[in-house]
Every structure is written in structure tokens, then in C-alpha cells.
Amino acid sequence: MESLKLNTKYLFGKNAIFELEKELSNSKYKKALILTGSSSYKTNGSFDDLTKVINKVNLPYIHFLGIEPNPRSRTIDKCVDFVIENKVDLIFALGGGSVVDASKVIATLATNKNYYESSWDYVLDSSLAKNKPIDIISIITLAGTGSENNGTSVITNSEKWEKKSVYNALATPIISVQDPSYTFTVDAWQTASGIFDCFSHLLEQYFGKSTFDWTREYIFANLRVLINYAKMVILRPLHFEARANVFWTTTMALNGLGSFKCESDWSVHTIEHAISGLWDVTHGAGLAFVTPTYLEIRSQNEQWFKDKVIQLGRNVFKTQTLESTIKFIVDFIKSINLPTRWSEFGNIAKFDEKDASYLLNHSCRFGEPSMKETYQKVIWALMEKK
């Protein structure tokens, strides 16, 4: 028996945010929080549009800004206290995946603070959070993570150089506003990183031992759309149709449909979380760095995995061999100007055996124990990719 519930209502298209007026009219909410990063919300028009809607329905609000890329637990702790002090009962998460990730932890701890000393304690053990989080409405301004329609958050503890995911289905945003024009101002690096984050989500849901036929074809279709529009979005950032197709694909890649009735393999994310926990690299770019090496190493040791890589290539990339499939992925990464070597990251000044040991320990701590040997081989191979 399989169970799947899609909890999020989508408002998609130009001026979609103004449909929120209908959703908020006669609502139960008494005070809202607008949660943002530090600056991008000022340039894409989303903040002004949202406040117009909120003011029209006479909903009081406050603003908390400064959620970082790879959101920090200490910033989340400050916001939790801010939310509780101001008796907020609705969060507008306005930004990219980091803002939405942070909003889920904030919404959860706003009603479960008595059980935790800090947000990082919650990330390490979410089992004590029994009370329903306050509601979240996401307004997405950077396509990539799919965080707008699932219950997962990825949080960084910068004091410990650790990064970990936490899941709470009840923290899934109830509404997701998706106006592709809000992504027009996203620069080429962040656009490409979002694209590869989505690319990785689709691959990792496919690379379990068993995949339901419908789900496999769903993954393949989304990959084709993503590849088709990736370069166009980079070269023509104001192209609405291209932005819209990338945006919707990133959302559909991580809402539960891509993992329906199949196994998944999140090893690439596990290794990348260790890398960005240590060096604070952009998440999607880190995934691009790890993916080809992971596919190569694991295919050398497990025939079934190699067969799935080849199947992927034949069905999506029109390649016929393991080598040509991996080459296609490397070429795709380069075509959207993401790194394939650690020296291409400004954040990584060195990558030595001490760093590799840290990455392995982090991956083993937060990943699958049975994958230790694979983690080790991949990390040591990455160290050589100068």
C-alpha cells in the first residue's frame, strides 16, 4: 500500500500573488511575519506586491530579514524568539529555498519551543515536536530546491561546521505563490545552481534499486524539460516561458511524485552537505561538483547501478554507454558554467587529507552507514579533482 498527500495549493503565473487576497479574506490570522533574506527581496518586486495584498486584507505584519544561504541555526533561533514575542500565527516565506527551509523550523519551534533549547537540537532530534506548526505561505523568488511544497529543511550549524536535514510533514507550506517574473533578477550563478539542485533531486530519486515505471517516466520527462530550458534561462533571463518551465520543474521535482513507489539514493546530497557545511559553497554548485564522480565510482562497483546510469542516458540524453552518459552530464554542468573541480570554487582554498577525513566523518554521521566505503572513495577522488 502506498500513501501520498500533496498538501500545497499552487498559485502559478504572472501576478499570481494577488490571488492571495481571496485566500486571506476572512482568514483566522491575527499577525503575520514576512521572512526574507538580506537583499534580493528589494529588487524583484515581490515584497511590494505582498505588502499590497496584506494591507488590503488588513492583516498586521512584521518583517524579519537576514536568513542566509545555507540558513544558520543561530539566525533561526533569533527569529523563533521574535515570532513568539510578537504572537505571529502566519509566516510568509519570501525568497528561495533557504528562506523556506528556515521558515519550517521557525514555524515548528514557535509552537514547540518548550521542548528544545535551540533549533539545532530540533534538527538533531525532531521527535519531540508534537504540536502543529503555524501556517506557512511561500512566495518563491529563486527556482531550485522545491522546498515550497515539502516538509524538509536543511540547516547549517556554522559553529560546528555541520549541515543536516530535518523533516516535518506538518510544516509543508499550505500555499505556494510562483510568479516566474520574480526570478528575472536572479543572476546566472544562482539560476544555474538552482537548475542543478533540481537535476540532482530527480537523479537521486531515480537511483534507488527499484523504480516504479510511472515514476521513472515522470523523472525522465522532468529532466528533459529542465535540460531543454536550462541554457535559454541562463542566456535570456527575462524569457518568461523558459523561467516558467524551469520554475515548475523544480517544484514538481520534490513534491513526492518523483519518489512515489520507488527507492531513492541521497548520497550525493549527503556528501555535498558535508562540503557546504565546511566551506559554505552554493548548494547546487556543490552537487554539480560531486555528481559525475559519484556516478563513476559507484558504477565501477555495482553493476545494477551502472545499468541504471546507462538506462538514464539512453532515455534522456540519447547516449549509449556509461562513459558517454557521464560525459553528457559533465558537459551540461559546464554549459551552465558550474564547477567540475574544487579549485573552481572561491570558497575552497585547499582540499587535503584532513579535509577529506572531515567530509567522510560528516557524511557517515548524517548519511547511511552502509555507504561508508562509497563515501570514502568518492571524497578521495574529489580531492584529486584540482
- Beta strands 152-157 and 162-167 are antiparallel
User: How far apart, in whole angstroms, are the C-alpha atoms of residue 328 and residue 312?
Assistant: 11
- Tell whether the model's pLDDT for residue 101 goes beyond 80: yes
Q: How confident is the model at residue 117 (pLDDT cuts 50, 70, 90)?
A: very high
Average pLDDT for 203-216: 96
pLDDT score recorded for residue 333: 98
Domain boundaries, the chain: 9-182, 187-384
Contact 227, 233 (CB under 8 A): no
Query: Per CATH, the architecture of 9-182 is what?
Result: 3-Layer(aba) Sandwich (3.40)
**Other C-beta atoms lying within 10 Å of the C-beta of residue 130:** 9
- Tell whether the model's pLDDT for residue 2 goes beyond 90: no
Average pLDDT for 95-101: 97
Q: How confident is the model at residue 5 (pLDDT cuts 50, 70, 90)?
A: confident
- Tell whether the model's pLDDT for residue 298 goes beyond 90: yes
- Tell whether the model's pLDDT for residue 1 goes beyond 80: no
pLDDT score recorded for residue 12: 98
Average pLDDT for 34-50: 92
Q: How confident is the model at residue 373 (pLDDT cuts 50, 70, 90)?
A: very high
Candidate CATH numbers 3.90.1150.10, 3.40.50.970, 1.20.1090.10, 3.40.50.720; the one for domain 187-384? 1.20.1090.10
Average pLDDT for 208-213: 94
**Which residues on neighbouring strands pair with residue 11, listed in sequence order?**
177
- Tell whether the model's pLDDT for residue 24 goes beyond 90: yes
Q: What tens digit of pLDDT does each residue of 346-356 get?
A: 999 999 999 99
User: How far apart, in whole angstroms, are the C-alpha atoms of residue 314 and residue 318?
Assistant: 5
**Which residues on neighbouring strands pair with residue 164, listed in sequence order?**
155
pLDDT, mean over the chain: 97
Window from 4-13, 36-45, 136-145, 243-252 with minimum mean pLDDT: 36-45
pLDDT score recorded for residue 173: 98
